[in-house]
Amino acid sequence: MSEITSSIPLQINPDLQEERDKASFNVTELTHIIYGGIEKTKKRKRLEKLLFSDPFFQEYQNVRAFGSRSEYYAASVKKSTKIFKLRRQHKWTDEEYETVLDICHDDLALTLHHTMFIPALERLATEDQKSKWLTLAKQYKIIGTYAQTELGHGTYLQGLETTATYDPQTREFVMNTPTLSAMKWWPGSLGKSSNHALVLATLIISGKKYGMHPFLVQLRSMDDHKVLPGVRVGDIGAKMGGNSVDNGYLILDNVRIPRNNMLMKNAQVSPDGKFVTRGPSKANYATMMLIRVQICTMAYQVVSSGATIGIRYSAVRRQSKLDPQDREPKILEYQTQQYKIFPGLAMSYAFLFASRSLTRKYEEAFAEIQRGDFKSLPELHCLSSGLKSFCSEHSVRQVEIIRQSCGGHGYLNAAGLGMLVNAAAPMITVEGENTVMYLQLARYILKRFAGAMSGQQLDGSTSYLSMDPATYVCPVMSETDCRNLTALCDIYRYRSYMTVCRVARQVQHDMESDMPQHVAINKNLVDLVRAAKAHSYYIVVKDFVEGVDALVASAPVIKVLRTLCCFYAAHGIAEYSGDFLESEAVGLHQLKWIKNLQVSLLGEIRPDAVALVDAFDYHDITLSSALGCYDGNAYERLFKSTENDPMNKEEVHPSYYQYLKPFMEEMNKSKL
Ligand SMILES: CCCCCCCCCCCCC/C=C/C(=O)SCCNC(=O)CCNC(=O)[C@H](O)C(C)(C)COP(=O)(O)OP(=O)(O)OC[C@H]1O[C@@H](n2cnc3c(N)ncnc32)[C@H](O)[C@@H]1OP(=O)(O)O
Ligand SMILES: Cc1cc2nc3c(=O)[nH]c(=O)nc-3n(C[C@H](O)[C@H](O)[C@H](O)COP(=O)(O)OP(=O)(O)OC[C@H]3O[C@@H](n4cnc5c(N)ncnc54)[C@H](O)[C@@H]3O)c2cc1C
DSSP collapsed to 3 states, 59-85: HHHHHHHHCCHHHHHHHHHHHHHHHHH
Q: Identify the CATH homologous superfamily for domain 287-456+483-612.
A: Butyryl-CoA Dehydrogenase, subunit A, domain 3 (1.20.140.10)
Q: Number of helices and strands (H, E) in the chain?
A: 26, 11
Q: How many residues does the chain have?
A: 672
**Rounded average pLDDT over 113-125:** 96
Angle (nearest 5°) at CA 486 between 492 and 22:
105
**Does the structure show a pLDDT above 80 at 599?**
yes
* 564 pLDDT tier (thresholds 50, 70, 90): very high
**Does the structure show a pLDDT above 90 at 83?**
yes
* 5 pLDDT tier (thresholds 50, 70, 90): confident
* Res 105: pLDDT: 80
ipTM over 0.85: yes
The pick from 149, 157, 303, 348 for probing ligand 1's pocket by mutation, whose C-beta has the most ligand atoms within 8 angstroms, reads: 157
Which CATH code of 3.40.50.720, 3.40.50.300, 1.10.540.10, 3.40.50.2300 fits the domain covering 29-108?
A: 1.10.540.10
Which ligand minimizes its atom distance to the CA of 280? 1
Cα(178)–Cα(34) distance, integer angstroms: 50
* Alpha-carbon distances of 130 from 11, 122, 275, 290, 511, rounded to whole Å: 53, 7, 21, 18, 48
* Alpha-carbon distances of 530 from 431, 502, 577, rounded to whole Å: 20, 11, 14
* Res 532: pLDDT: 98
Are 266 and 124 in contact by the 8 Å Cβ rule? The answer is yes
CATH class of 141-278: mainly beta
**Rounded average pLDDT over 557-563:** 98
Are 68 and 646 in contact by the 8 Å Cβ rule? The answer is no
**Does the structure show a pLDDT above 60 at 1?**
no
Cα(146)–Cα(190) distance, integer angstroms: 8
User: Alpha helices of 91-152 — where are they, by DSSP H?
Assistant: 94-104, 111-112, 118-124, 127-129, 135-138
Asked if residue 644 has its Cβ within 6 Å of ligand 2, the reply is no
Atom of ligand 1 at shortest distance to CA of 377? 55
Ligand 2 center to residue 97 CA distance, Å?
29
Ligand 2 center to residue 151 CA distance, Å?
10
Which residue positions form the known binding site for FAD? Answer: 149, 188
Q: Tens digit of pLDDT for each residue in 101-114?
A: 999 887 789 999 99
**Does the structure show a pLDDT above 60 at 445?**
yes
* Res 4: pLDDT: 86
* Res 416: pLDDT: 97
* Res 74: pLDDT: 97
* Res 411: pLDDT: 98
**Does the structure show a pLDDT above 70 at 359?**
yes
In the DSSP assignment, the letter for residue 227 is B
**Does the structure show a pLDDT above 90 at 662?**
yes
Are 461 and 467 in contact by the 8 Å Cβ rule? The answer is no
User: Alpha helices of 238-334 — where are they, by DSSP H?
Assistant: 286-316
* Res 102: pLDDT: 92
- Compute the mean pLDDT over every residue in the chain, rounded to the nearest whole number: 96
Domain ranges of the chain: 29-108, 141-278, 287-456+483-612
Phi/psi region, residue 584 (left: phi>0; alpha: psi -120 to 50; beta: rest), is left
* Res 521: pLDDT: 97
* Alpha-carbon distances of 404 from 309, 397, 411, 442, rounded to whole Å: 12, 11, 8, 33
Which ligand minimizes its atom distance to the CA of 198? 2
Asked if residue 430 has its Cβ within 6 Å of ligand 2, the reply is yes
Could you tell me the pTM of the whole model? 0.97
Q: Tens digit of pLDDT for each residue in 48-80?
A: 999 999 999 989 999 999 999 999 999 999 999
- What are the residues facing 202 on neighbouring strands? 163, 212
* Alpha-carbon distances of 539 from 163, 301, 387, 496, 645, rounded to whole Å: 40, 19, 8, 10, 46
Cα(192)–Cα(109) distance, integer angstroms: 9
* Res 152: pLDDT: 98
Is 29-108's fold the same as 141-278's?
A: no
* Res 279: pLDDT: 79
* Res 671: pLDDT: 85
* Res 200: pLDDT: 98
Residues of the chain above pLDDT 90, percent: 95
* Res 35: pLDDT: 97
* Res 342: pLDDT: 98
* Res 414: pLDDT: 97
* Res 6: pLDDT: 78
Q: Tens digit of pLDDT for each residue in 186-207?
A: 999 999 999 999 999 999 999 9
Cβ < 6 Å from ligand 1: which residues? 105, 146, 148-149, 154-158, 188, 282, 285, 288-289, 298, 301-302, 305, 377-378, 381, 423-424, 426-427, 430-432, 436, 440, 443-444
Asked if residue 416 has its Cβ within 6 Å of ligand 2, the reply is no
* 403 pLDDT tier (thresholds 50, 70, 90): very high
